[in-house]
Structure 1
Amino acid sequence: MARMRGEADPTRTLGVGLIGTGFMGKCHALAYRNANAVLGGLPPVRLELLCDVPDEKATRMAEQFGFARATDDWRALVRDDAVDIVCITTPNRMHHEMALAAMAAGKHVHCEKPLALTLAQAEEMAQVAQDAGVHTMVGYNYIHNPAFTHAKRLVEAGEIGRIVHVRGWVDEDYQADPDLPWTWRAAVAEAGLGALGDLGCHLVSMVCRLAGPIDSLIADMATVHETRPLAEGAGRQAVENEDLASALVRFAGGATGVLAISRSAWGRKNRLGFEIHGTKGLIVFDQERMNELMLYRNAGDKALQGFTTILTGPEHAPFGAFVPAAGHQIGMNDLKIIEAGAFLAEIAGGPRAGPDFKEALVFERVIHAIADAARSDARIHLA
């Protein structure tokens, strides 16, 4: 049974149970298998139990990922005494039930975003986590990028002065093709929000960590392709959620902001980025160039001023744990290693890593407020 807060034992081997073997399932498996090898000083882990359906697939993927056992019953996984951490990498509609069951069994939970289909479900998950006293982590891996954490340090150190304006964007083209077949991502009952829940929450996690909480907003959203073809020529089915959204936001600290989100932006693969405008300078980041950060500071000789491109390197921990030289790059899966390592360290008694369910709820309140503001054509206040 998983230990509660304040009962950490850094020498105890932690059993990992993984539900789901898709893109993010593999990412979690790689992260927990490699976290100690890369970062060091973490409690040892066992890749204990993997769940997928059918059972044949679970067995095959357990062998591929390096898990000791397999099952096609996720309820058996969360009850298993050898499992301490439950990783949930399933479609969105399953997160709520699985997380509640895992926490009821005393397990720590590492859940992919968004937390749930609805805000009410997410609020329940955060409250149960607090009451259960277990550790939780939500898969906002981009805020573990050394380039991002360096940007946060620059802001906190006052390098660009007081933040006055934030521009953020996240664009992908995985739903740009009108002939792409209908999938569960188009159904409210399966995915909840569309581009906001899949992409927008990542952007919100970044700007909130840099500029603080969002106080109020107005917004708009649209479905670009209102129907999509079903398999084998069986007609077309309605797309129930949004392909794009935008918001004008006001931060509690006084800054204003513009956020734009699209899953139908041709040519964009993971253009998740921001500009942070301050009274003394500017910080620019784009996830498609994830090992770079651009900094402008209004200091010194005007004739020599310009943007500085900072290539992440060993000076930007924990980059050096992966590679000892700047310019040699880390990748998306490496961010999940940092995330899993931070979670393991927290469970072993280290500092809170986050975002836990409580902080993730803040992000999800923003994306649901954007949807509500777009539907009501009114300013939504979050405070």
Structure 2
Amino acid sequence: MPGHKTQLRIGLIGTGFMGKTHVFGFTAAQRVFDLPYELVLHTVADRTDELAAEAARTLGFAKSSSDWKSLVADPDIDVIDITAPNALHKEMALAALTAGKHVYCEKPLATTAGDAAQMAQAARAAGVCTQVGFNYLCNPLFSLARDMIRGGELGEIRSYRGIHAEDYMADAESPFTFRHDPAGGGALADLGSHALATAEFLLGPIERVQGDSATVIASRPDGRGGRRQVEVDDLSRAFLRFANGASGSLEASWIATGRKMQHDFEVYGTKGALVFTQERFNELNFYDATDKQARRGFRRIEAGPDHAPYGLFCVAPGHQLGFNDLKAVEIAGFVAAIAGKQPEPFGFRSGQRVQQLVEAIQRSATEGRWVNTVG
């Protein structure tokens, strides 16, 4: 039939917060973008048959299963989408890669840099496409900021500040979760990974780090009437040295009382500065030091159709994109890579790099010294 598209059939593992977000992204992406495939929600997997069946009904999947391995083995499924707890990513991804599936995995890619390297190597050997979920990078204003930096509008970059802070672990009586597991938890891995990805997206490679981490809440309820000791960080900070000569700092916290989504950056150069906050993520503030003295000040750049792909979502400036829209942009890039139309936007090698930075900061905090992140 003329115009008929080949199907790309999705198998989703996990139906929590990010699982639902991925589904919203798949659904919106094929309505907003002219994708090279028809995206089909094929099978969803969860912990029990009942949970999986309910997820299939509410999210629109044709089939369901309590066994994620059945999705990997199904020859009708083209993409395995992993939104399960962090510690399960490696096993699931390696199984999917061995089966020749494309793999979409929420961050962090793995719980250790070594595991992430093994996964990236397996992806290269399999010759498939991969994507790690860092959808904040898909904000059109992030691309604008990077273009302004690379184009010299800020002059020589001198310093950088980044932070990702939320308060979902601020209550000391909130229960122990998989995020508190020493195998792959902590605020730096969970939130700092976003801040690190953003820093290198904007300014390029970070060469050295010096970190400091703190466990503020020593124990949490274990769900069985007792308490379990917490060994991971609630709060981490790091000094950064970039390859371009700039220095910077970074903070990650999940106990920042009152903060629901603070993913911010500040970039300072010889000719100007940029300031951004995720709490108003359709705005980028720009200071131009070449303005006349009496006219100087930060001015707001509002997202609009001139900042692709905003215009595909809305023809009117200032009407704003949302969090789920960024996931649709991420998925559109991944699907284009599967079709061979562009390189992977943020594949397993990129996810491996973020995990390397996380571990370098962790090692620095333990050893009390600067740690190199390259070479």
Deviation at 1:351? 1.1
> Over aligned residue pairs, what C-alpha RMSD do you find?
1.2
> What TM-score do the two structures reach when normalised by structure 1?
0.95
State the alpha-carbon separation in 2 of the partners of residues 372 and 248 from structure 1. 13
Structure 1 residue runs of 4 or more that deviate by more than 2 Å after TM superposition: none
1:94 corresponds in structure 2 to 88
2:148–2:154 CA contact under 8 A, matched in 1: yes
2:360 corresponds in structure 1 to 369
State the alpha-carbon separation in 1 of the partners of residues 72 and 363 from structure 2. 34
Deviation at 1:352? 1.6
Residues 67, 278 of structure 1: alpha-carbon distance in 2 compared, 3 angstrom cutoff: same
List alignment gaps of at least 5 residues for structure 2: none
1:36–1:42 CA contact under 8 A, matched in 2: no
Counterpart secondary structure, 2:216: coil
Pairwise mapping of residues 224-243 of structure 1 onto structure 2 (< 5 A)? Answer: 224-231=216-223, 234-243=225-234
Pairwise mapping of residues 343-382 of structure 1 onto structure 2 (< 5 A)? Answer: 343-382=334-373
State the alpha-carbon separation in 1 of the partners of residues 357 and 35 from structure 2. 36
> What TM-score do the two structures reach when normalised by structure 2?
0.97
Moved more, 101-110 or 42-51: 42-51
List alignment gaps of at least 5 residues for structure 1: 1-9
- Does the alignment pair 1:106 with 2:100? yes
Cα deviation code 1:217-241 (max 9, x no counterpart):
1110000101012325x12111121
Counterpart secondary structure, 1:354: coil
% identity of equivalent residues: 45
Deviation at 1:12? 2.1
Pairwise mapping of residues 12-91 of structure 1 onto structure 2 (< 5 A)? Answer: 12-91=6-85
- Which amino acid in structure 2 is aligned with residue 74 of structure 1? W
Cα deviation code 1:190-220 (max 9, x no counterpart):
xx13001110000001010111111011110
- Does the alignment pair 1:165 with 2:156? no
- Does the alignment pair 1:206 with 2:198? yes
State the alpha-carbon separation in 2 of the partners of residues 18 and 346 from structure 1. 19
State the alpha-carbon separation in 2 of the partners of residues 368 and 313 from structure 1. 38
Deviation at 1:120? 1.0
State the alpha-carbon separation in 1 of the partners of residues 35 and 171 from structure 2. 46
Counterpart secondary structure, 2:211: strand
Counterpart secondary structure, 2:52: helix
- Does the alignment pair 1:122 with 2:116? yes
Cα deviation code 1:114-158 (max 9, x no counterpart):
011111111100111111111000000000011211111111221
Pairwise mapping of residues 175-254 of structure 1 onto structure 2 (< 5 A)? Answer: 175-189=169-183, 192-231=184-223, 234-254=225-245
Moved more, 248-257 or 36-45: 36-45
State the alpha-carbon separation in 2 of the partners of residues 30 and 173 from structure 1. 25
